[in-house]
Amino acid sequence: MTTPVKNNELTQILAPISLDFKALDDLIRLRLASKVALIDQISSYIIQAGGKRVRPALLMLVAKALSKDKEIPHALELAAVVEFIHTATLLHDDVVDESTLRRGRETANAAFGNAASVLVGDFLYSRAFQMMVGPNDLRVMEILSDATNTIAEGEVLQLLNMNDPEVDEESYLRVIRYKTAKLFEASTELGAIIASASEAERAAAAAFGRHIGTAFQLMDDLLDYTADAQQMGKHAGDDLREGKPTLPLIYLLEKGNHEERILVRAAIEQNQDLPQDVFAQILKAVQDSGALDYTQAAAQKEADLAAGCLASFPKNEATDALFALCQYSLARQS
């Protein structure tokens, strides 16, 4: 396993955009404001929950890396748009998954109810679409509208895969690329566009986002079996309890012994709370089977592909930070 990286090291990696991040926080607070009191209340709750804001960070770092020291218009606005779209998907996800813990605190749906969470998620989507017209660039609107549609398709694909032990690795990776990697890809491609990068640089930036986004999600799925709630900010084993066939389980279904395969199939198919003793058995089987090493290797492959996309980028501190994020994607603890 890769040596864990602490979250304070992420702050060091993002040092080239630290001032931009402060301005982004201010803009997010400003644009989340609403005359509707409940929207303000839930928005404040979301902001206080924090988050790494990796997607807007990638947008700003790619823009800085490719800008050749030129002024970068609309970077903050588009970074906020990306964060709003991501947060909207989380609000809706938590309702669909009936999650109660995220980032170490109650989910918005647990605190305010499902209806309020869904509607505030809709507010965030609509606010994002209001803001994305600011650059007056059809390429920007096309990328973001396409990404939002693809993410929705990914959510539906994941729903179809729930409680289905027949899901294979290819189908699982398709969900990742739709549901998670697509917004990473949109973020990095937008960074290249606002930096007036060449078509080749734009394509490389998009591929970088797609690969690093896949690496992040693969590691999330691995951490569901290795990290505790304090590290992850959510309950360990949630994916299994929700009947999600992620890569560690898919590997165990293929490589495990007969008894393990029967146990995992039953656990994925179940539509009720998974007994703790059954979860413990599956966790041990996952850890003993090599499934975690296999998942880590898959994430390593994606991170290496992401790093390879940066080969043509100018050598500067922003590009260095992007390389460092490839390593961080593999070694983070939460």
Segment 106-148, tens digit of pLDDT:
999 999 999 999 999 999 999 999 999 999 999 999 999 999 9
Confidence of residue 232 (pLDDT cuts 50, 70, 90): very low
Q: Thinking of the domain 7-214+307-331, which architecture would CATH place it in?
A: Orthogonal Bundle (1.10)
How many whole angstroms separate alpha carbon 32 and alpha carbon 43? 6
Q: Where are the domains of the chain?
A: 7-214+307-331
Give residue 97's pLDDT: 83
User: Is the distance from CB of 63 to CB of 191 less than 8 angstroms?
Assistant: yes
* pLDDT tens readout for residues 157-166: 999 999 999 9
Quick one: DSSP state of residue 5?
Answer: B
Q: Please name which of 187, 231, 233 lies closest in space to residue 206, comparing C-alpha atoms.
A: 187
pLDDT in tens, 236-295: 677 888 888 999 999 999 999 999 999 999 989 986 677 888 888 998 899 899 999 999
